[in-house]
Structure 1
């Protein structure tokens, strides 16, 4: 199904072809006409791609046509990347100054004449292939579709009837919603009207939002509370005219249910319809359920609300939706976030669908297997029903074990089963977001993602597109993640400001596997042959590679080892990858045991990200690694035997993130000063470093991480004018309380993490220089810290404050009420301070009671914080 991404790939390629950079390069190498031909053909094809994607499951020939376009687009992208590589090489040569002859020899195999001949042949080949494919597309009768419009399939329309006796585990949820319906509207709807309360019920597809709404709608107490009850399914487009007709019809039926026929209002114009609607609702205290709402157009919602708020005071609307952002937009009270069923309720539901009544008693062995099966459903009733139904009247032990041992995406799915239900949410996403979402499939279930990790992957693969201007890649990635979170695809989301952490729901992970098969592959012990069309793979089982046959095609773009402690062990296999897959964008060799990298690593000219984290045997890196001018991310974190960094590091002019562990004591300041795009720099376990930099300036650095550098004595903040994030962890010799001349310099710091600073009795004075910008402050393991300075209360932007294991800390600043932006306060393992901050009874409670989220001495909060911090350190 990976051909569903072709429209996004084509759109990205068209964007590159339209850029000024490629136009200049194409004229310089006399390939302008060919590139324009590619652009023209691709523009024609792109107009029908979205329509083709909607039909892809109907005809095998159409699916193959899409795959051919995808392949040629990828090949075209590789060719265009050659221009970027050549441009970067020229920049290095120009910057080399007096050593130009040496650098010229360095790039002798890539001189302009050789480059022109090679790239011209490839561009002509791409153009010919694309022209042929475009001509072949005519036989499919496709029509052009503008923008990102798609005919998104919907689930069937819902109705209000439910057999309450057959619903398991939703009694408490029903009572909570009814309690909200019985309460007077506590707030307004934003414009002073207090007669209309909107209660959103939010959750992932298949969780039972509609069922819960039905339970509430049919509860007898609602008949006493409301004069009029209406049920409207909104799963098709949110058209105002159709919405009015549906509400009128539902109101008419509710008023006279015995009358089967309804008045014919479809011929009325919009003016007559709105008048009829207002007449039906005027003065009535009503309950309106808007089920399965997808509309995110606030103007349409406001228009409908203005029409229906003529009801009597106390009227209520229940809205079911999968989107948190839609719920926030329309809700007038906090959303009711529907949780999954308990394991016990899941098992009861499973037994109901897998057996006839009482039949389960005959098969206790199957019920035991059923207990394991329901665990994979993660509390989602539709998933339980799907798996239970698939086993109904089937008592074959082998079949039950197959369902238990296989992922849900591998099992046959009917129209109303769990994966089709979840795929509705996926189909609603724009194509660029669907493409990004698929890459969650490369990681195991229950994997803890950090924003940095997923942003690095998406950026390296060119999946992040700035809608306006030139936004930072990290900001675009955050927007994508926020949108996925809004759609209920993510869980355990923790926002620490600059850094954030989340997991993907297990069933959503199944969906990612389902939609990505073909192009993305997870290699495990079952894998024997890797199909030729695979471009991205991850290895998630111990030592499965000895029996795997890798494809000879050059299409591979991503190789990952995502599980901590598991990596490549064969140097021969690594040599094969480097020789064969020269278009790799991401190569993750974390936790590998290879002792050296081959000089041939320089052939991976398209490489954007190279992970060598925790390679404990590597002592040296080949200097040829510095030929990778496209490299944006390089991690040498945890390479504890690495004696020195490669010479010429400054030639990696695209490098944005660099993580270092090395035994050397002195760094080449000239190399670091040449890294003009460097934004993130990390030093971990660099035991011999006493000083980072003395004369160099790093004007673009935004993130600095220093961990377990036992000899480090000073921190050169004065050379980091744009620093926004600082981690200092376990640096025993580092004196944080250095003095600055008056006046105190101003910093742009937003995130500060200080940990295991054993000699600090108070916080460093220089933090005060970030009073106008600091948003997150974490103070952990300060055994000598006695007090927090009064100036801490001047941090007007501070949102998050975590204080952990500061046993001597007794006092808070007296003006804590001045921290008006503070939203989250966690204090733990500070015995006396925790006592003083005890909710309701502590003497400091009045100073902190205004803070929205407070955790004082809570074990669960502490454990969760530790888990998240460990993930942050591993995957920044």
Structure 2
């Protein structure tokens, strides 16, 4: 996951110096829920009976539930007591230790499963997998549980010193921003004139003939959604169109009675009464009478409600059958907009300001009018500061205001060179604005969000890649029937996007990609601090309570060794310190993730087999690696094994069938024969990737991989055959540069019933037309990429039966001269990309191509080569 070094941001906090600690502690509640969930599993129940520790585990569960209950109350009070902060740190360490003990039961259950499956026919396998004497194991585990219970009991008792209250569910009261109002001075707003005009158009048009429709302004905190709504609310066209205008800031309070009171209070020309004394029935009667016969505009500012029932309850009251009445909503939540049945055309995604508008806004707040011309040096520094703000108006205004009437060059340079979180901020500042969204996240999303700190800044993040980390760390809930773990991760990514945390989100079908706004990334780094830490020359100490370490430089491996309870370690590129690796493996026995991306080691220590908790082992691009010890196959918990780019690896280790938890296997190897039979029994396997396995000639002979969801074949120059029937359940298939591969894959006239959602065919000179197995996914295929297929001459007429196709990309196929005539049948096709196909582009170029009319229904038709020009 960590492929590029990322500079650690400085943390010169002023007003919010305690914030990173508070945010890290907010992850505790999820840890507690996770451990309690594991205590309820069948594996733990069976182990407790076998080891005779059932009552001890029940006691552990009860004490954990008590502590879990007060965590939410503790989070609110941490700033009041350093003793409480220390108590929470001890709780965190204890819950981590408890999780290790509980996971050990799962390890033992998996080990027994392998022994029972293969041990009876092979004493060698039984010896290979056997652990210490069962009696010794039982005593050791009983001792650990007793130690955990002793510590739990003390911490549970100590809670009374802090007056903590037990809260059974996550019902924390989230900080709510101040109530908004409708007044705005347009001269103080920059760069939103176009947005205002577009929304005014949506509000004044009556083309849909609905009695009540909704327009939603959606975007992340700090974008200026409320300011934009104010501009719209006060526009003269709105005054002329609507007889009645009402402004209500609903925020987190969407309880019907309270919203009715707010609307009544906002309606003009009413005799002021204390509506708090009215019953709900009286309130709804009053409001309906007030609205009847009037075309109205109601602004619901800062809406967070994601409960459809609450919206429908309100809508029934305010919908008084007056044609053209509108509701304008501002929200950070796509889900909140969706439950209001907002049409896609009426969902307005608010973007960031342009560089020019950002600078103009900055100058308004940093200088008196025209004063910037007297300070050309400061102006140049200001341009660099504005770049940091990433087009977020609130950030621009906050930074500009902090520099007003300050003309010391060093002070400006300090702001430029330090993170904007260093600024003093009031409750309307950058950090509170973004933190409010974080506070609203359900507990299961918070650790997922924090883990983005492990990704390089400005990176395009692929969901399938981040999902392997989430699964290894236990962040993902179990999949539903027919779901893969990537499907589960995609749901969580979509939920984070729907809450406006992610940018550039794109769903490929079976996978997705996204980026993080720079300020959101900074927020992530601070949330993760103390839990996820980067070790570099400026930060060489191993934080005592950190669970996840990223080494940014190779020369740091000689520092004092980290504590033994680490969950993940990411070693830097070029890592060649085998002595450090041996020490790491021997001491950190509870590791879930070990990343050795682009290492220079030639072999792994045999002791790697002792990391029985390890779920993720990444050796990608370790080009000197020649062998893997067979002990790797002792890792029954291993979910991901990444050997891509290990070009000197002679063969896979013996005993691959023992890796019964393996979901993701990425391979580069020199071996000739692939162990098909060993792989066939891996019933958890979801993703297979073969890259530059130049000696492999065939795959999947006489087997069927029924659980496989993704298959990638890259640069396997000798590969000739892969039977499609062996992989018919996959969702994603990518084939790159496999010149000898028979692309029909044994599919003749009979088209298979498959579930492909995403297909990539790249650099395949043997491809003349599309293989028929693609047609078998007519009811599923969403994305199709064809690139570098220089002999592709035609696309079959059946292409237009792919009715769910959403994205179609054609690149570097110079002999492809036309598209099928019935392209209009692809009604779901929204994006068509054509590049490196000069004749094809000439015919179908938007507006001017001879055959443009055949594809004019597609929303986005473009040539990236022209865009670059």
Shared fold (TM-score, shorter chain, > 0.5):
yes
Alignment gaps of 5+ in structure 2: 1-20
Query: How many angstroms does 1:238 deviate by?
Result: 0.7
Mapped contact 2:709–2:729 kept (Cα < 8 A): yes
Aligned match of 1:340: 352
Aligned match of 1:83: 105
Q: 3-state DSSP class of the match of 1:266?
A: helix
Aligned match of 1:859: 865
Q: 1:24 to 1:780 in 2, by over 3 A?
A: same
Query: How many angstroms does 1:142 deviate by?
Result: 2.4
Over aligned residues, Cα RMSD in angstroms? 2.4
Matched, 1:749 2:760: no
Query: How many angstroms does 1:385 deviate by?
Result: 1.9
Mapped contact 2:723–2:746 kept (Cα < 8 A): no
Which deviates further from its counterpart, 792-801 or 412-421?
A: 792-801
Aligned match of 2:644: 637
Aligned match of 2:189: 167
Query: How many angstroms does 1:716 deviate by?
Result: 2.4
1:719 to 712, 722, 726: 726
Mapped contact 1:684–1:707 kept (Cα < 8 A): yes
Q: 3-state DSSP class of the match of 1:57?
A: helix
Mapped contact 1:409–1:513 kept (Cα < 8 A): no
Aligned match of 2:250: 234
1:275 to 269, 285, 291: 285
1:436 to 448, 453, 459: 448
Q: 3-state DSSP class of the match of 2:213?
A: strand
Matched, 1:289 2:296: no
Matched, 1:808 2:815: yes
Matched, 1:138 2:148: no
Matched, 1:207 2:223: yes
Aligned match of 1:222: 238
Higher relative contact order (CA 8 A, sep 6+): 2
Mapped contact 1:537–1:558 kept (Cα < 8 A): yes
Q: Whole-Å Cα distance in 1 between the matches of residues 860 and 687 of structure 2?
A: 31
Which deviates further from its counterpart, 120-129 or 358-367?
A: 358-367
Matched, 1:246 2:272: no
Mapped contact 2:558–2:580 kept (Cα < 8 A): no
Alignment gaps of 5+ in structure 1: 189-193, 864-876
Q: 3-state DSSP class of the match of 1:753?
A: strand
Q: 1:638 to 1:115 in 2, by over 3 A?
A: same
Q: Whole-Å Cα distance in 2 between the matches of residues 441 and 353 of structure 1?
A: 32
Query: How many angstroms does 1:28 deviate by?
Result: 0.4
Matched, 1:424 2:436: yes
Matched, 1:66 2:78: no
Q: Whole-Å Cα distance in 1 between the matches of residues 100 and 221 of structure 2?
A: 38
Q: 3-state DSSP class of the match of 2:661?
A: coil
Aligned match of 1:94: 116
Q: 3-state DSSP class of the match of 1:811?
A: coil
Mapped contact 1:14–1:42 kept (Cα < 8 A): yes
Superposition map of 1:486-497 within 5 A:
486-497=498-509
Q: Whole-Å Cα distance in 2 between the matches of residues 20 and 737 of structure 1?
A: 45
Q: Whole-Å Cα distance in 2 between the matches of residues 710 and 666 of structure 1?
A: 15
Q: 1:599 to 1:97 in 2, by over 3 A?
A: closer
Q: 1:169 to 1:781 in 2, by over 3 A?
A: same
Aligned match of 2:316: 306
Mapped contact 1:788–1:813 kept (Cα < 8 A): yes
Aligned match of 1:664: 671
Q: 1:817 to 1:638 in 2, by over 3 A?
A: same
Post-superposition CA distance 1:360-381 (Å, at most 9, x none): 3443322222211111111011
Mapped contact 2:202–2:346 kept (Cα < 8 A): no
1:545 to 556, 560, 569: 556
Query: How many angstroms does 1:518 deviate by?
Result: 1.3
Matched, 1:676 2:683: yes
1:385 to 375, 384, 397: 397
Q: 1:150 to 1:98 in 2, by over 3 A?
A: closer
Q: 1:393 to 1:547 in 2, by over 3 A?
A: farther
Post-superposition CA distance 1:9-45 (Å, at most 9, x none): 1111111111222111111011111111101111222
Superposition map of 1:682-831 within 5 A:
682-740=689-747, 743-831=750-838
Q: Whole-Å Cα distance in 2 between the matches of residues 605 and 702 of structure 1?
A: 26
Q: 1:91 to 1:546 in 2, by over 3 A?
A: closer
Query: How many angstroms does 1:196 deviate by?
Result: 2.1
Aligned match of 1:531: 543
Superposition map of 1:290-689 within 5 A:
290-310=300-320, 312-330=322-340, 331-332=342-343, 333-466=345-478, 472-539=484-551, 541-543=552-554, 545=556, 548-551=559-562, 553-560=563-570, 566-689=573-696
Q: 3-state DSSP class of the match of 1:88?
A: helix
Mapped contact 1:706–1:728 kept (Cα < 8 A): yes
Q: Whole-Å Cα distance in 1 between the matches of residues 36 and 130 of structure 2?
A: 32
Superposition map of 1:124-135 within 5 A:
124-135=146-157
Query: How many angstroms does 1:269 deviate by?
Result: 1.1
Post-superposition CA distance 1:234-291 (Å, at most 9, x none): 1241111111111111113xx37xxxx8322221111111111112222222222211
Mapped contact 1:651–1:674 kept (Cα < 8 A): no
Q: 3-state DSSP class of the match of 2:326?
A: strand
Q: Whole-Å Cα distance in 1 between the matches of residues 367 and 82 of structure 2?
A: 38
Q: 3-state DSSP class of the match of 1:110?
A: coil
Q: Whole-Å Cα distance in 2 between the matches of residues 324 and 316 of structure 1?
A: 19
Which deviates further from its counterpart, 490-499 or 566-575?
A: 566-575
Q: Whole-Å Cα distance in 2 between the matches of residues 318 and 27 of structure 1?
A: 59
TM-score of the two chains, using structure 1 as the length reference = 0.92
Mapped contact 2:755–2:777 kept (Cα < 8 A): yes
Post-superposition CA distance 1:287-306 (Å, at most 9, x none): 22211111111121122122
Mapped contact 1:834–1:856 kept (Cα < 8 A): no
Query: How many angstroms does 1:47 deviate by?
Result: 2.3
Mapped contact 1:530–1:548 kept (Cα < 8 A): no
Q: 1:395 to 1:528 in 2, by over 3 A?
A: farther
Q: Whole-Å Cα distance in 1 between the matches of residues 67 and 683 of structure 2?
A: 39
2:275 to 239, 249, 265: 265
Q: Whole-Å Cα distance in 2 between the matches of residues 430 and 364 of structure 1?
A: 47
Query: How many angstroms does 1:638 deviate by?
Result: 0.5
Q: 3-state DSSP class of the match of 1:690?
A: coil
Mapped contact 1:684–1:709 kept (Cα < 8 A): yes
1:34 to 51, 56, 64: 56
Q: 1:291 to 1:117 in 2, by over 3 A?
A: same
Query: How many angstroms does 1:471 deviate by?
Result: 5.2
Q: Whole-Å Cα distance in 2 between the matches of residues 548 and 293 of structure 1?
A: 50
Q: Whole-Å Cα distance in 1 between the matches of residues 326 and 700 of structure 2?
A: 64
Aligned match of 2:14: none
Q: Whole-Å Cα distance in 2 between the matches of residues 417 and 499 of structure 1?
A: 35
Which deviates further from its counterpart, 141-150 or 781-790?
A: 141-150
Q: 1:799 to 1:862 in 2, by over 3 A?
A: farther
Query: How many angstroms does 1:734 deviate by?
Result: 1.2
Post-superposition CA distance 1:182-209 (Å, at most 9, x none): 322x336xxxxx1323221111111111
2:203 to 161, 169, 181: 181
Which deviates further from its counterpart, 524-533 or 796-805?
A: 796-805
Query: How many angstroms does 1:741 deviate by?
Result: 5.7
Query: How many angstroms does 1:358 deviate by?
Result: 4.6
TM-score of the two chains, using structure 2 as the length reference = 0.93
Post-superposition CA distance 1:332-371 (Å, at most 9, x none): 5521211111222222322333344454344332222221
Post-superposition CA distance 1:611-647 (Å, at most 9, x none): 1011111111122211111100000001111111112
